[in-house]
């Protein structure tokens, strides 16, 4: 088997056993990037220090030093997360020339566990989008059919894992930005509980919703990455001190008796027929695993997208005020300060980002705050309460990750609302702060991946990963990779 076909846990085992070297491993994936990135455009930049770091790991291993649990494992990082000394663009012209002066907490943790950052992945500008078409650096293509979007905003991370340009990747999820592209690209993506993973060094889109998480082929690999990146960080005030449960250790605990809730509303109208069928098939798998399936209701989640499209732009309008041409961004030509601001922000931001800043600015401005931001935040409370009540009855909530498989490039670019509805099943977890995972189920008849979403109680990532892992024990969908050369049409 070639290296690129191996899962991260196997790669780590082989590295530890001395069967392969970190240098070989990094070299292999760099070559794959070299060969395939022109088709996929999954990476915005590739690290020029990766080989050096791999050699250092190999040397340390030779010297008998004790190494971290990811020693020598190549990893791709979404370009909205700071890696010291590397370009960190957030997919924006605004930060085209920005070199991060520091490591995000999760990058620090990954590095000290021995992981090697091989590159920074493409994304919708400032994570605003569901297709990676809003990147200043061009859209990413879905390796399952290159005329389709990989989803977004972490489309580069999803595409590079699906296309095996990196064994695993890190993404961030504000309204579905890990799970939706994971679903579109046929991989596993976990959005952890809000506060579970430090946001320090994650370029903020909407601070109360953003969360960093793993994007991998298997749930087991996600559990492995979570064992490194999860946990309290004193540099992030919103980071939780809650004990991190050992997901790796609990993966095989049988699911018998676990209660899984299904919300019928989410399996009805508007849903792509094949998505509905495959999700129902997946439900049968969980029944076989001993789960009890129960019907639940989440009455307020139908307002989730509307609440989300107020709250996220409001926070974004403020979070993105720092991109002003003064300290580290692109700066446009101007004769005076006001002109400098307006031209810099007019030219430095793409259309979707400008549109959301406009929306957020409007919704927060004098006289509108109560009708929009406050009202949406109250609806958000109701959504959270729905989940609190549902989780009294069940341990997990199951449904589709997205209403359809990956759509075509350009299909929704003129229709923001259609694009926003791609997030219909994912935004609620962000609003409520709960963890959720997307795992691949049987693809569509045209070979497009479909994702199943499991949502869990706050800080119970271990249960999500356990359920996902055992589903993957029973099904082959996570093991298949797109054929090369990539299909250009579906």
Partner 1 sequence: MPDTPEQPIVNQVARLARIHLDEQQLKSSGEKLEQILSFVSQLEQVELPEDVIPFFGAIESVNAIRDDQLQTSVPREKILDNAPESDGEFYLVPPVFKQTDS
Partner 2 sequence: MEDSVLNSNSNPQSTNRQAVSFNDAKIIIGLEVHVQLDTDSKLFCGCSTRFGEAANSQTCVICTGMPGALPVINRRALELSIRTGLSLNCRIARSTKWDRKNYFYPDLPKGYQISQFDQPICGPGHLDIQTTEASGQSRRIRIERAHLEEDAGKSIHDESSRRQSSKIDLNRTGTPLLEIVTHPDIRTAAEAKAFLSELKLILNYIDVSDCNMQQGNLRCDANVNLHIPLGGEQVATPIVEIKNLNSFRAVERSITFEAQRQFEAWQENGLTIADAPKQTRGWNDQTQTTTLQREKEDSADYRYFPDPDLIAVNIEETQIELIQSQLVQLPSTLRESLVTEYNLKPDDAAVIVSQGRGVVDYFLEVADGCQDSRIANNWIGQEVLRQLNELNQTIRQYPVSPQQFTELLKLVIAGTLDQTRGKEVLNAMVEHSISSEEAIKQLGIKPVDNSELVTLCETLIDENQKVVEQIRSGNEKAIGMLIGKARKINPNANPGLVKAMLSKMITG
Is 81 or 419 the residue whose CB approaches partner 2 more closely? Answer: 81
Q: Which of 125, 221, 139 is nearest to 174 (CA)?
A: 125
Choice from 14, 207, 343, 481 touching partner 2 (CB under 8 A): 207
366 counts as catalytic:
no
Cα separation, 166 vs 174, in Å, equals 23
Burial category of 63 from C-beta neighbours within 10 Å (exposed 0-12, middle 13-18, buried 19 and up) = exposed
Choose one: 50-58, 105-113, 281-289, 303-311; the region binding partner 1 (CB under 8 A).
303-311
Choose one: 15-23, 199-207, 213-221, 247-255; the region binding partner 2 (CB under 8 A).
199-207
> Interface with partner 1 includes 322 (CB under 8 A)?
no
Shortest reach from residue 250's CB to partner 2, in Å: 29
208 counts as catalytic:
no
> Interface with partner 1 includes 45 (CB under 8 A)?
no
Phi/psi region, residue 198 (left: phi>0; alpha: psi -120 to 50; beta: rest), is beta
Choice from 354, 442, 443, 487 touching partner 1 (CB under 8 A): 354
How many residues make contact with partner 2 (CB under 8 A)? 43
Which of partner 1, partner 2, none does 67 bind, CB closer than 5 to 8 A by kind? Answer: none
> Interface with partner 1 includes 309 (CB under 8 A)?
yes
User: Per-residue x/- marks for partner 1, 425-444, CB under 8 A?
Assistant: -----xxxx-----------
Choice from 341, 354, 413, 421 touching partner 2 (CB under 8 A): 341
Measured between its terminal Cα atoms, the distance across the chain in Å is 28
Shortest reach from residue 298's CB to partner 1, in Å: 13
Which of partner 2, partner 1, none does 322 bind, CB closer than 5 to 8 A by kind? Answer: partner 2
What's the Cα-to-Cα distance from 150 to each of 177, 184, 394, rounded to whole Å? 11, 6, 32
From start to end of 97-252, where are the E strands?
116-121, 168-173, 188-191, 211-216
Is 99 or 473 the residue whose CB approaches partner 1 more closely? Answer: 99
Q: Which of 177, 183, 247, 444 is catalytic?
A: 177
Cα separation, 171 vs 437, in Å, equals 13
- Which tokens hold the place of 240? 């939780």
Helix (H, G, I), strand (E, B) or coil at 143: coil
Shortest reach from residue 352's CB to partner 2, in Å: 18
| H or E, element range at 30 | helix 22-40
> Which residues have a Cβ under 8 Å from the Cβ of 29 and sit 6 or more positions away?
3, 4, 74, 118, 165, 166, 167
Cα separation, 109 vs 282, in Å, equals 35
> Interface with partner 1 includes 372 (CB under 8 A)?
yes
Among positions 197-226, residues that touch partner 1 (CB under 8 A) are: 208-209
Residue 231, preceding bond cis, omega within 30 degrees?
no
> Interface with partner 1 includes 303 (CB under 8 A)?
yes
Contact 256, 137 (CB under 8 A): no
Which of partner 1, partner 2, none does 414 bind, CB closer than 5 to 8 A by kind? Answer: none
Choose one: 198-206, 260-268, 396-404, 413-421; the region binding partner 2 (CB under 8 A).
198-206
> Interface with partner 2 includes 35 (CB under 8 A)?
no
- Which tokens hold the place of 416? 């923001």
Helices (H), 198-336: 219-229, 247-250, 273-288, 304-319
Choice from 18, 34, 358, 393 touching partner 1 (CB under 8 A): 358
| H or E, element range at 13 | helix 8-16
> Interface with partner 2 includes 332 (CB under 8 A)?
no
Cα separation, 289 vs 475, in Å, equals 12
> Interface with partner 2 includes 324 (CB under 8 A)?
yes
Is 30 or 83 the residue whose CB approaches partner 1 more closely? Answer: 83
Is 144 or 309 the residue whose CB approaches partner 1 more closely? Answer: 309
Choose one: 30-38, 50-58, 230-238, 479-487; the region binding partner 2 (CB under 8 A).
230-238
Phi, psi angles (nearest 5°) of residue 142:
-80, 125
Choice from 15, 70, 90, 398 touching partner 2 (CB under 8 A): 90
Phi/psi region, residue 112 (left: phi>0; alpha: psi -120 to 50; beta: rest), is alpha
> Interface with partner 1 includes 343 (CB under 8 A)?
yes
Shortest reach from residue 398's CB to partner 1, in Å: 21
112 counts as catalytic:
no
> Which residues have a Cβ under 8 Å from the Cβ of 224 and sit 6 or more positions away?
8, 9, 12, 69, 70, 248
Helix (H, G, I), strand (E, B) or coil at 395: coil
Choice from 66, 243, 333, 366 touching partner 2 (CB under 8 A): 366
Q: How many CA atoms lie within 13 A of 286 on its CB side?
A: 30
Choose one: 96-104, 177-185, 282-290, 386-394; the region binding partner 2 (CB under 8 A).
96-104
**Catalytic residue numbers?**
78, 153, 177
Contacts to partner 2 by CB under 8 A: 81-82, 88, 90, 95, 98, 100-102, 104, 199-204, 206-208, 234-238, 314-315, 317-318, 320-322, 324, 326-328, 337, 341, 361, 364-366, 369, 373
């Amino acid at each position: 088997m070639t290296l690129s076909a191996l899962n991260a846990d196997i790669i780590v085992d082989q590295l530890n056993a001395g069967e392969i070297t970190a240098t070989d491993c990094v070299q292999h994936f760099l070559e794959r990037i070299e060969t395939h990135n022109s088709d996929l455009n999954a990476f915005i930049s590739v690290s020029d220090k990766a080989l050096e770091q791999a050699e250092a790991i190999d040397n340390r291993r030779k010297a008998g030093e004790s190494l971290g649990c990811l020693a020598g494992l190549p990893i791709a990082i979404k370009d909205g997360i700071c890696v010291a000394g590397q370009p960190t663009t957030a997919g924006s012209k605004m930060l085209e020339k920005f070199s991060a002066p520091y490591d995000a907490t999760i990058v620090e943790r990954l590095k000290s566990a021995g992981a090697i950052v091989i590159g920074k992945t493409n994304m919708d500008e400032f994570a605003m989008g569901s297709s990676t078409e809003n990147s200043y650096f061009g859209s990413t293509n879905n390796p399952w059919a290159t005329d389709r979007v990989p989803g977004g905003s972490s489309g580069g991370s999803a595409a590079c894992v699906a296309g095996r340009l990196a064994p695993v990747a890190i993404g961030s999820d504000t309204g579905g930005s890990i799970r939706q592209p994971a679903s579109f690209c046929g991989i596993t993506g976990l959005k952890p509980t809000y506060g579970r993973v430090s946001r320090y060094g994650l370029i903020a889109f909407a601070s109360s919703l953003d969360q960093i998480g793993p994007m991998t082929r298997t749930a087991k690999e996600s559990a492995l990455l979570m064992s490194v990146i999860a946990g309290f960080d004193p540099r992030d005030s919103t980071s939780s001190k809650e004990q991190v449960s050992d997901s790796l250790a609990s993966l095989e605990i049988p699911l018998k008796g676990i209660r899984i809730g299904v919300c019928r509303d989410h399996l009805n109208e508007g849903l792509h027929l094949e998505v509905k069928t495959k999700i129902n098939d997946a439900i049968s798998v969980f029944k076989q695993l001993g789960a009890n399936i129960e019907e639940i209701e989440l009455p307020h989640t139908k307002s989730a997208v509307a609440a989300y499209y107020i709250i996220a732009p409001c926070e974004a309008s403020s979070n993105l005020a720092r991109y002003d041409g003064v300290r580290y961004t692109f700066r446009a030509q101007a004769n005076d300060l006001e002109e400098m601001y307006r031209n810099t922000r007019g030219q430095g931001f793409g259309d979707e980002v400008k549109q959301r800043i406009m929306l957020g600015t409007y919704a927060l401005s004098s006289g509108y705050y109560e009708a929009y931001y406050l009202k949406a935040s109250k609806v958000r409370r109701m959504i959270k309460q729905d989940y609190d009540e549902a989780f009294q009855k069940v341990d997990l909530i199951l449904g589709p990750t997205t209403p359809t498989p990956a759509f075509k490039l350009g299909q929704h670019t003129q229709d923001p609302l259609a694009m926003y509805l791609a997030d219909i099943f994912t935004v609620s977890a962000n609003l409520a702060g709960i963890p959720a995972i997307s795992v691949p189920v049987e693809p569509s008849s045209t070979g497009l991946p479909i994702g199943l979403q499991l949502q869990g109680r706050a800080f119970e990532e271990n249960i999500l990963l356990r359920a996902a892992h055992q589903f993957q024990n029973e099904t082959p969908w996570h093991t298949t990779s797109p054929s090369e050369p990539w299909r250009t049409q579906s």
